[in-house]
């Protein structure tokens, strides 16, 4: 999705950055060790996608955004401490029954 | 630290003149009070120092390249995701919450310094 080099941000890029910010904010509310772990996984995942996903592949990026938002909602729950809910693959998780 | 040192230096000065002259304590005191009501706001120098420290401590940044004029992405080789991380680190350093709309614009040390220096809640 193209980590940009300083030119004007597109609407979609803003959404991605906003989601990223949301994850980092959510991580702040977790205990220190979990926070570090969440930050490193989230950072790696966003950077990986920014390099691998074609910046014109809007459908896929929109899908990733939707998936990310769901995962972020789960992460925000005070019951979620770990990363299993943030993990790649599936967005079903861990504290689905809370 | 620098701020505390600066404040102590300033406070001591009027107290010495007060002891030397002896008379007219009133104006001296009100001057002091005025002065102290201002000193919980950050000085520009302190903002600059702390912003540069935060940027230098970012893992992907070569500390020797960091000056108040650097652009995060053009000069330091960072991407927009790193940019978000730096702005978030600045939020924590200065105990601020920067709205997305503002945060998206902060892409250089200079803009960060200006934003924080002009923010009434920066601490």
**CA-based nearest distance B40→chain A, Å:** 26
B103 in reach of chain A (CB within 8 A): yes
**CA-based nearest distance A97→chain B, Å:** 32
Annotated catalytic residue: which of B39, B40, B69, B79? B79
Cα separation of B83 and B103, whole Å? 9
Residues in chain B where the model's pLDDT stays below 50: 13-22, 24-25, 27-30, 32-38
Is A47 in contact with B81 (Cβ distance < 8 A)? yes
Helix (H, G, I), strand (E, B) or coil at A58: helix
Domain boundaries, chain B: 2-38, 44-117
CA neighbor of B67 nearest in space, from B78, B82, B56, B58: B56
Is there a contact between A61 and A16 (Cβ–Cβ < 8 Å)?
A: yes
Contacts of residues B61-70 at CB distance under 8 Å and 24 or more positions apart, as own/partner, are B66/B109, B67/B109, B68/B109, B68/B110, B68/B113, B69/B108, B69/B109, B69/B110, B70/B108, B70/B109
Is B79 in contact with A47 (Cβ distance < 8 A)? yes
Q: The domain B44-117 is classified under which CATH number: 3.40.50.970, 3.40.50.1980, 1.10.1200.10, 3.50.50.60?
A: 1.10.1200.10
Cα separation of A94 and A86, whole Å? 10
Residues of A in contact with B85 (CB under 8 A): 24, 43
Which residues lie closer than 8 Å to B15 by C-beta, 6 or more apart?
none
Cα separation of B26 and B32, whole Å? 10
Helix (H, G, I), strand (E, B) or coil at A57: coil
Q: What is the DSSP letter of B108?
A: B
Is there a contact between B52 and B68 (Cβ–Cβ < 8 Å)?
A: yes
Cα separation of B59 and B78, whole Å? 11
Is B100 in contact with A25 (Cβ distance < 8 A)? no
CB contacts < 8 Å between A and B, how many?
Answer: 44
pLDDT in tens, chain A (98 residues): 555 555 688 999 999 999 999 999 999 999 999 999 999 999 999 999 999 999 999 999 999 999 999 999 999 988 876 665 444 444 343 444 43
Active site (annotated) includes residue B79: yes
A87 in reach of chain B (CB within 8 A): no
pLDDT score for B73: 96
């Amino acid at each position: 999705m193209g980590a940009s080099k300083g030119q004007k941000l597109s609407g979609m890029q803003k959404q991605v950055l906003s989601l990223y910010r949301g994850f980092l904010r959510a991580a702040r509310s977790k205990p220190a060790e979990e926070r570090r772990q969440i930050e490193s996984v989230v950072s790696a995942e966003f950077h990986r996608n920014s390099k691998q996903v074609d910046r014109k592949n809007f459908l896929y990026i929109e899908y990733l955004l939707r998936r990310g938002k769901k995962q972020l909602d789960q992460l925000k729950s005070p019951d979620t401490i770990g990363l299993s809910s943030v993990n790649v693959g599936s967005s079903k998780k861990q504290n689905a029954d809370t | 630290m620098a701020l505390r040192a600066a404040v102590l230096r300033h406070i001591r000065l009027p107290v010495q003149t007060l002891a030397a002259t002896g008379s007219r304590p009133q104006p001296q005191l009100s001057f002091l009070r005025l002065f102290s009501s201002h000193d919980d706001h950050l000085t520009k120098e302190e903002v600059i120092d702390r912003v540069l420290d935060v940027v230098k401590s970012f893992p992907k940044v070569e500390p020797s390249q960091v000056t108040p004029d650097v652009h995060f992405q053009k000069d330091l080789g960072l991407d927009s995701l790193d940019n978000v991380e730096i702005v978030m680190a600045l939020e924590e350093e200065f105990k601020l919450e920067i709205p997305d709309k503002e945060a998206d614009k902060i892409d250089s040390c200079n803009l960060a310094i200006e934003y924080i220096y002009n923010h009434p809640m920066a601490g």
